[in-house]
Amino acid sequence: MERVTIREASQRLRISTAMVRECIRGGELKAFKETRDDGGMGWVVELPEDGWVSEAIAAELNREFSPWWWGTQDKTGYIHYVESLSASSWEETVPRFLCGEIGDNIWAATDLRQEMLCLECQMRAMEQGLPQSNPSPQG
């Protein structure tokens, strides 16, 4: 089994480093303290077999409602994390995003790419311990 740093595991498994740590705590991933090249001690993660999906992520993927939505119809700018939804007097959906922005409406974001996600929303979701996105592989 290949052992990699938490950062590399995050990239290889396409989950956040916070999620890697979460999986280690939950026993889904094995981690070891190893001596690094520079003599210090560091955590390494044993990479699971191909196709591994965290139970936590699987549960997230099976959710019917994704909190990540576009705030514009032409899908420009960033995908935001919807904090709450309310209906306007015209029965339109008015989303309020975690970053504080108010959208015109919401449009489903099916292709979640890390570089398209609103950074502010991501940071607040992380601070508040909200479920994170699971970006699609790039390319």
- Residues that bind Zn ion in the complex, under the rule CB under 5 A: 80, 97, 99, 118, 121
CB of 1 to Zn ion, least distance (A): 38
> Between residues 44 and 118, which has the closer beta carbon with respect to Zn ion?
118
CB atoms within 10 A of CB 9: 26
> Between residues 54 and 133, which has the closer beta carbon with respect to Zn ion?
133
Pairing, β 41-46 against β 3-5: antiparallel
DSSP 105: S
**CA-based nearest residue to 124, from 96, 105, 103:** 96
CB of 55 to Zn ion, least distance (A): 28
CB of 101 to Zn ion, least distance (A): 5
> Between residues 70 and 97, which has the closer beta carbon with respect to Zn ion?
97
At which residue do the structure tokens 């108010």 appear? 102
How long a stretch of residues is the chain? 139
